[in-house]
Amino acid sequence: MTALTLKPAGAPGPRADAIVIGVAKAGTGPVVAPGAEAVDQAYDGGLAGVLTTLGASGAEGELTKLPAPAGLDAPLVVAVGLGAEPEADAGYDAEALRRAAGVAARGLSGTKKATFALPVDGPGALAAIAEGVLLGAYAFDAYKESPKDEKAKSDGAPLGEAVLLGGEADEDGAGGYQAAVDRAVAVGEELNRARDLVNTPPNDLDPEAFAAIAQAAADEHGLTIEVLDEQALKDGGYGGILGVGGGSAATPRLVKLAYKHPEAEKHLAYVGKGITYDSGGISLKPAGHNETMKCDMAGAAAVFAAVVAAARLGLKVEVTGWLALAENMPSGSATRPGDVLRMYSGKTVEVLNTDAEGRLVLADALWAASAEEPDAIVDVATLTGAMMLALGSRTFGVMANDDAFRTAVHEAAEETGEPAWQMPLPAHLRKGMDSPVADIANMGERMGGGLVAGLFLREFVGEGITWAHLDIAGPAFNDGGAFGYTPKGGTGTAVRTLVRLAEQAADGDLG
Ligand code: BES
Ligand code: MN
Ligand code: ZN
């Protein structure tokens, strides 16, 4: 991953291959953002004019490369758009900085070293820039190692080193700048690891392989781990996970991964949908709908990353992650539409559509998580196409059995730069899941399908336990081009929200 170093503002940077500056959009044209004064001086104060000539406006996402005049510590200046200039006295919005840093880092792939001279008015701004650089520089090249692709690989190599200007840290690191960057590094590295998991092809990441990766992380970070294999799931009566995984040659797993600070007062449980590949099962998805279904474990990847990040940050909290891992495949041993499963909770479910499998594995994991009576449960799942239709591909839906908690989760998401929206759980939709043979069916009305799925999950949350559900089907995987700090493919969505919630719980600010 890109190495980060901190330097005070205006410090003569070490020699670099490029220097990144911010450009904001004002009514009068592009304006050079604070932090870039030395660069502007090298152009005799005429940088805004040069940018105007080149057609730059300062719009968000815009990247302009220009040769540096003599006297600068780099041969190249990279001007990145920050969007509208903030009101006088207000600083740049953290998300604008994060995105701009990401755009610049992406535009600098193949570059060894760059200096970032973006506007920094405090540790929060520096942290946002650090996050943007780490997330924007991400590349997934694990499968491009054959000699024939060597060139493609080196061209796409992520930015090697970033020197961030603006940290006013003195020699003992006071001022909070170094701490802010350290946090960004821990979260950024784990978030990128979640992206790697999502991007890993499903022939290499089955439930067993995912569990082994969790085991390795547990060993590395001193986490408690318990892995239930197929036999243990049978012995325990996990009919939902077994029913979904039964069609695959790769057997399912339920992984419990726990971090606990010795002085923890709050306990959060995170539950992740971990379908390592969703073919739909016997209710097979048609071509055109299954090509990216390796992403169906993005919820489990986010939960995994958040638990490890909480441990690395040493948060004063207990966080238990539950990874519900299975591969949904059609075969002679697969669950059929019409089968009834006896779930871990004891409830029975008539499976009307084997493609509504996420709720089945989550139901067992939610019930297992509930048994520990945590202060709150948050599940994360690429659950429904309906949520994508409702909110588009960049926003996840937040549902909950508690209005205040739903609002808290939504606010935590927005605070970290993750677009989210609150969705209801209308009681009348429950009737559509009535089954003539079982306690509930795994499908209901088509309209409001994302809410129907949420209502299903709610029935498997223990009595009196606060719970929220994040449907990340849209934002988990980016089918389009890269934007801001978001690459193509796995995005790592929900990791930052989960980490933020753990921080709030640690600080006693949650519930
Ligand atoms: N994994 C899918 C949902 C999904 C769709 C995620 C597109 C990411 C992108 C889920 O298992 C699914 O197939 N849901 C069905 C449920 C339906 C059969 C009730 C859906 O949304 O169509
Ligand atoms: Mn499905
Ligand atoms: Zn699925």
Q: Please identify, by atom number, the ligand 1 atom nearest to the C-alpha of residue 449.
A: 19
The per-residue pLDDT for range 311-340, each reduced to its tens digit, is: 999 999 999 999 999 999 999 999 999 999
Residue nearest to atom 7 of ligand 1 (CA): 385
Q: What is the mean pLDDT of the chain?
A: 95
Among 154, 163, 150, 143, smallest CA distance to 101 is for 163
On the question of pLDDT at 232 being above 60, the answer is yes
Q: Answer yes or no: CATH 3.40.220.10 is held by domain 3-167.
A: yes
Catalytic residue list contains 359: yes
Interval 175-181 mean pLDDT: 91
Read off the pLDDT band of 89 (50, 70, 90): confident
On the question of pLDDT at 511 being above 80, the answer is no
Read off the pLDDT band of 1 (50, 70, 90): confident
> Global pTM?
0.97
Residue nearest to atom 16 of ligand 1 (CA): 356
Instruction: Provide residues with CB under 6 Å of ligand 1.
Output: 278, 296, 353, 355-358, 382-386, 388, 443, 449, 473
On the question of pLDDT at 150 being above 90, the answer is no
Exactly one of 144, 153, 260, 285 is catalytic; which is it? 285
CA 286–ligand 2 middle distance (angstroms)? 12
Torsions phi, psi for 164 (to 5 deg) = -100, 120
Among 103, 312, 87, smallest CA distance to 193 is for 312
On the question of pLDDT at 173 being above 80, the answer is no
pLDDT for residue 379 = 99
Ligand that lies nearest to the alpha carbon of residue 351, given by its number in the listed order? 1
On the question of pLDDT at 171 being above 70, the answer is no
CA 462–ligand 3 middle distance (angstroms)? 23
On the question of pLDDT at 151 being above 90, the answer is no
On the question of pLDDT at 169 being above 90, the answer is no
**CB 273, CB 297: distance < 8 Å:** yes
- Place domain 190-507 in its CATH homologous superfamily: Zn peptidases (3.40.630.10)
**CB 10, CB 115: distance < 8 Å:** no
- What's the one-letter identity of residue 170? D
In the chain, CATH 3.40.630.10 sits at 190-507
- Nearest-angstrom CA–CA distance, 176 and 182: 10
On the question of pLDDT at 298 being above 60, the answer is yes
The per-residue pLDDT for range 97-128, each reduced to its tens digit, is: 999 999 999 999 999 999 999 999 999 999 99
- Nearest-angstrom CA–CA distance, 503 and 511: 12
Read off the pLDDT band of 12 (50, 70, 90): confident
The DSSP line for 230-254 is: HHHHHHHT-HHHHHHHTTSSSPPEE
Catalytic residue list contains 431: no
Q: HSE-up of 334 (CA within 13 Å, CB side)?
A: 24
Among 348, 356, 357, 361, smallest CA distance to 437 is for 348
Instruction: Collect all residues with Cβ–Cβ distance below 8 Å to 448 and sequence separation of at least 6.
Output: 386, 426, 429
In the chain, CATH 3.40.220.10 sits at 3-167
Q: Please identify, by atom number, the ligand 1 atom nearest to the C-alpha of residue 358.
A: 11
On the question of pLDDT at 154 being above 90, the answer is no
- Nearest-angstrom CA–CA distance, 416 and 195: 17
The DSSP line for 82-143 is: EEEPPPTT----HHHHHHHHHHHHHHTTT-SEEEEE---SSHHHHHHHHHHHHHHT----TT
